[in-house]
Chain A
Amino acid sequence: MLQYLLMCKSLTYAQRALRLLERIGVSTIITKAPKSATGNGCNYCVKVSEKHLAASLKALNEANFGNIRVFLVSDDGSVSEVRK
Chain B
Amino acid sequence: MIYLDCAATSLQKPQGVAAASCRAINHMASPGRGSHRPAMDAADCVLNCRLLMAEYFNVNDPDKVIFTINATHALNIAVASLVDPGDKVVISGYEHNAVLRPLTAYGADIVVARSPLFDPAAVTEAYRQALPGAKCAVINHVSNVFGFILPIEEISALCHEFEVPLIIDASQSAGVIPIDFTALGAAFIAMPGHKSLLGPQGTGVLLCNYPVKPVLFGGTGSNSLLSSMPDYLPDRLEAGTHNVAGIAGLTHSLRYLMSKPPRYVLEHETALRTCFERRICDIDGLTLYSSCDPDCQSGVLSVVSQNPACDELAEILGSMGICVRSGLHCAPLAHETAGTTETGTVRFSFSPFNTCTDVFQASEALKKIFINR
The interface of chain A, by Cβ under 8 A from chain B, is 9-12, 15-16, 30-32, 39-44
Give the A-binding residues of B (Cβ under 8 A): 31-32, 34-35, 40, 43-44, 47, 50, 62-63, 221-226, 230, 232, 234-235
B31 adjacent to A43 (CB under 8 Å): no
* A40 and B225 within 8 A (CB): yes
Q: B224 near A11 (CB under 8 angstroms)?
A: no
Residue of A nearest to B238 (CB): A12
Contact across chains for B35 and A42 when beta carbons are under 8 A apart? no
Instruction: State whether B222 touches A16 (Cβ < 8 A).
Output: no
- A to B CB contacts below 8 Å, 30 in the list: A9-B222, A9-B232, A10-B230, A10-B235, A11-B31, A11-B43, A11-B221, A12-B47, A12-B50, A12-B62, A12-B63, A12-B234, A15-B43, A15-B47, A16-B47, A30-B35, A30-B40, A31-B35, A40-B223, A40-B224, A41-B224, A41-B226, A42-B221, A42-B222, A42-B223, A42-B224, A42-B225, A44-B32, A44-B35, A44-B222
CB of A40 within 8 A of CB of B226, answer yes
- Rounded to whole Å, the gap between the CB of A18 and the closest CB of chain B is 10
CB distance from B237 to the nearest CB of A (A): 12
Pick from B40, B222, B226: contact of A10, CB below 8 A. Answer: B222
Chain B residue numbers with a CB within 8 Å of A12 are: 47, 50, 62-63, 234-235
Could you say which of A10, A30, A41 contacts B232, with CB atoms under 8 Å apart?
A: A10
Measured in the bound complex, the distance between the Cα atoms of B243 and A60 in whole Å is 30
- A43/B223 in contact, CB under 8 A: yes
Q: Is there contact, CB below 8 Å, between B223 and A41?
A: yes
Inter-chain CA distance A43–B35, complex, in Å, is 11
What are the residues of chain B within 8 A of A16 when measuring CB–CB? 47, 62
Which residue of A has the minimal Cβ distance to B225?
A41
State A30–B221 Cα separation when bound (angstroms).
14
B32, B43, B226: most-surrounded residue (chain A CB, <10 A): B32
Given the complex of chains A and B, what is the CA–CA distance between A16 and B47 in angstroms?
A: 8
In whole angstroms, how far apart are the Cα atoms of A41 and B226 in the complex? Answer: 8
A5 to chain B, nearest CB (A): 12
Chain A residue numbers with a CB within 8 Å of B40 are: 30
CA distance A43 to B224 in the complex (A): 8
Additional A-B contact list (10), CB under 8 Å, known A40-B223, A43-B222, A44-B32: A9-B222, A11-B43, A12-B62, A12-B63, A15-B44, A16-B47, A30-B35, A32-B35, A42-B32, A42-B223
A30: chain B residues within 8 A (beta carbon): 35, 40
A39 neighbours in B (Cβ, 8 Å): 225
Report whether A32 and B223 are in contact in the complex, using a CB–CB cutoff of 8 Å.
no
Chain A residues near B63 (CB-CB < 8 A):
10, 12
CB distance from A17 to the nearest CB of B (A): 11
Tell me the nearest residue of chain A to B234, going by C-beta.
Answer: A12
Q: How far is the CA of A31 from the CA of B37 in the complex (A)?
A: 11
CA–CA, A32 and B224, complex, Å: 13
- Complex CA–CA separation, A27 to B362 (angstroms): 57
Residues of B within 8 A of A10 (CB): 63, 222, 230, 232, 234-235
A39 (CB) vs chain B CBs: closest residue: B225
Contacts of B44 on A, CB cut-off 8 Å?
A: 15
Please measure, in the bound complex, the distance between the C-alpha atom of A55 and the C-alpha atom of B319, giving whole angstroms: 66
Complex CA distance for A44 and B32, rounded to whole angstroms: 8
